[in-house]
A = this chain, B = another copy of it.
Amino acid sequence: MAGRPVNHQRRAELLDAAVDYAVEHGFAELSWRPVACGLGVSTTTLVHHFGTKEQMLEAILGRLRERTFAATSDAVADRPGLAAAARAVWTRTSDPRRSAEFRLFFAVYGRALQAPERFAEFLDRVVADWMRSLVEAQGSGADPAEAARTATLVIATIRGLLLDLLTTGDRDRVQAAAEAFLATLEPPTEAA
């Protein structure tokens, strides 16, 4: 039982750097050699820490999901109602400092839709995680079906508006549409 101990922190560093590289260079351009070059290491180092390329992509996906979801989910948890929660999510997702990250998010998302078996975990969680979070935000008193319906609409609208914003960069128009939508959530929730 001897030998040099495994350096988990090293892998975490490389993974974070790999996500940064994917954010900057695109999810479609991820090959061992360019990534290794961008990270200042050899391809063998990446292989050693991640195994196969498939496993590296999976690791990047997981880390990306952590960044995008966890950064906003805690903001939801602190808000009393759905309207405030939705507004908090929109504020964070529309932050221009995160635009590159969400471009990568949609690049992965689109690719996952054409290879569902390969990206099963991503697809399983990309909606479900937010659904759970936004249903909880409506409290235990809400009708489950009504809560699911509203949460679905909030997720869809925010993502659709984000797509528009990332595409056109027309922040004024998109923000106006977002305000109009968020306003409809203001009355706590009317029972069906």
Give A contacts to B, CB under 8 Å. Answer: 26-28, 103-104, 106-111, 113-115, 123, 126-128, 145, 148-150, 152-153, 155-161, 163-164, 166-168, 173-174, 176-177, 180-181, 184
Contacts and interface: CB of A to CB of B under 8 A. Distances in A.
B161 A152 contact: yes
Among A107, A109, A156: residue with most chain B CB under 10 A: A156
Among A108, A114, A158, A167: residue with most chain B CB under 10 A: A114
B123 A114 contact: no
Contact of A114 (B103, B115, B155): B103
Give the number of times this chain occurs in the complex, counting copies.
Answer: 2
Given A26-B114, A109-B110, A110-B107, A160 B156 contact: yes
Contact of A160 (B108, B155, B184): B155
B153 A157 contact: yes
A145 B179 CA distance: 13
A180 B103 contact: no
B156 A176 contact: no
A181 B181 CA distance: 10
Given A103-B114, A173-B152, A123 B157 contact: no
A28 B107 contact: no
Given A26-B115, A111-B111, A157-B157, A152 B177 contact: yes
Contacts of A26: 111, 114-115
Nearest to A108: B110
A180 B149 contact: yes
Contact of A177 (B106, B149, B181): B149
A166 B126 CA distance: 12
Contact of A107 (B111, B145, B160, B163): B111
